[in-house]
Amino acid sequence: MSDGHAREFGLDRGKVFPAANARSLLNPLRRLVQSARRTVAAAAFEPDARVLELGCGPGFFSPWVARATSGTAVLLDLQMEMLQLARDRVRDQDSAVLVQADGTRLPLASSSFDGVLIATVLGEIPDHDGCFREVHRILRDGGVLAVAETRRDSDFIKLEDLKALVEPRGFQFVAKRGIPWQYVARFGRV
């Protein structure tokens, strides 16, 4: 890869979650422990915000992201097979636009988004500099970066570690909702 970071697919820590296992992310039992509705609500995007969901996978959160805004919801993932599943889940929602891309090289205009949601994805992206540089670039000043993490994910990142990753890269911590092992953290772009 041109960014110098190797990409491996698999279920272990640091590997890209394979589309072959996508159905497990949509398992109805997941809803019992991680509510997609409450997670997206905790991001507290403005009702007309233009929002990017980075690493949407098969779209567990995507219908709620699309419903949360009357603006556009861009659902982006590295894997086309993931996007095909996500598309089925937002079929009836006009605000949703699907994009296949790498989160470290976003084909999106600068300062064109009000909010970004990254849910259980960050641990799969070794190039944090590239990812946050791009998220910072596409967010407008004062835009919201919401990061959802759960210990159920092998790539779980503790809040203190997340802050240490995000804050030096042009974001300021605003608030956290949830408990230590499953939370949504909001950062403002500065």
Count of residues that interact with ligand SAM, criterion CB under 6 A: 19
Binding of ligand SAM at residue 17 (CB under 6 A)?
A: yes
28, 63, 7, 189 alpha-carbon torsion, rounded to 10°: -130
Given the complex with ligand SAM, which of 93 and 172 has the nearer CB atom? 93
Binding of ligand SAM at residue 104 (CB under 6 A)?
A: yes
Binding of ligand SAM at residue 44 (CB under 6 A)?
A: no
Binding of ligand SAM at residue 132 (CB under 6 A)?
A: no
For residue 51, give the nearest of 143, 121, 133, 137 by alpha carbon: 143
Looking at 67-75, 88-96, 120-128, 165-173, which segment touches ligand SAM (CB under 6 A)?
A: 120-128
- 100's tokens: 């296949």
- 90's tokens: 């937002």
Binding of ligand SAM at residue 130 (CB under 6 A)?
A: no
- Cα–Cα distance for residue pair 110/112, rounded to 1 Å: 5
Residue nearest to ligand SAM (CB): 57
Strands (E), 34-160: 51-54, 73-77, 96-100, 113-119, 139-150
Count CB neighbours of 36 within 10 A: 18
Please state the closest distance from residue 162 (CB atom) to ligand SAM, in A: 15
Binding of ligand SAM at residue 77 (CB under 6 A)?
A: yes
Binding of ligand SAM at residue 69 (CB under 6 A)?
A: no
Binding of ligand SAM at residue 78 (CB under 6 A)?
A: yes
- Cα–Cα distance for residue pair 95/190, rounded to 1 Å: 27
Q: Taken in order 85, 61, 100, 20, is the CA torsion positive or negative?
A: negative
Binding of ligand SAM at residue 125 (CB under 6 A)?
A: yes
What is the footprint of ligand SAM within residues 152-181 (CB under 6 A)? none
Looking at 74-82, 88-96, 108-116, 162-170, which segment touches ligand SAM (CB under 6 A)?
A: 74-82
2: CB partners within 8 A, 6+ apart: none
Please state the closest distance from residue 121 (CB atom) to ligand SAM, in A: 4
| Angle made by CA atoms 183, 59, 172, in degrees to the nearest 5 | 35
